[in-house]
């Protein structure tokens, strides 16, 4: 997987365990994933610059990024849990003495 910061990932996992307790599927950030999600997400420019970054996603639905993609497709209880997780994650990072470090052996590959 493309973890560019073990320190950041551990904070994110702790925030998940303290809050929503999502079952995480880490196959989406692998180089071999057929859809190449890691290389299509908003965090990629940061990872390219060696800045610790993570990707949050609720996965796709049939109408994702089509004209039929509308508010009826939103799972609001899940959205609330996602927002809680991101808030907890941000709180943990904001309260560190220094920002998380990038792993020395991180290599952005494709």
**pLDDT tens per residue, range 3-33:** 899 999 999 999 999 999 999 888 877 778 8
C-alpha–C-alpha distance, residues 66 and 41, integer Å: 17
**pLDDT tens per residue, range 58-97:** 777 788 888 998 998 889 999 999 999 999 999 999 999 9
Residues, the chain, total?
110
Give me the DSSP letters along 10-69.
Answer: HHHHHHHHHTT-PPP-GGGGSTT-TT-GGGGSTTHHHHHTT-----------TTTTSTT-
Kindly provide the b/e burial profile for residues 58-69, where b requires at least 16 CB atoms within 10 angstroms of the residue's own CB.
Answer: eeeeeeeeeeee
Q: What is the pLDDT of residue 2?
A: 65
**pTM metric for this prediction:** 0.85
Determine, yes or no, domain membership for 76: yes
Question: What is Dmax (Cα atoms) for the chain?
Answer: 45
* The total number of structural domains that make up the chain: 1
Determine, yes or no, domain membership for 105: no
Q: Name the residue range of residue 45's domain.
A: 6-94
Determine, yes or no, domain membership for 30: yes
């Amino acid at each position: 997987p493309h973890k560019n910061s073990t320190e950041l990932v551990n904070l994110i996992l702790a925030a998940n365990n303290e809050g929503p307790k999502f079952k995480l599927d880490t196959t989406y950030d692998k180089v071999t994933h057929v859809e190449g999600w890691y290389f299509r997400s908003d965090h990629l420019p940061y990872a390219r610059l060696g800045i610790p970054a993570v990707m949050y996603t609720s996965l796709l639905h049939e109408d994702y990024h089509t004209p039929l993609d509308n508010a009826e497709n939103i799972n609001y209880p899940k959205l609330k849990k996602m927002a809680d997780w991101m808030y907890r994650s941000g709180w943990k990072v904001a309260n560190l003495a220094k920002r998380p470090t990038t792993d020395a052996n991180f290599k952005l590959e494709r």
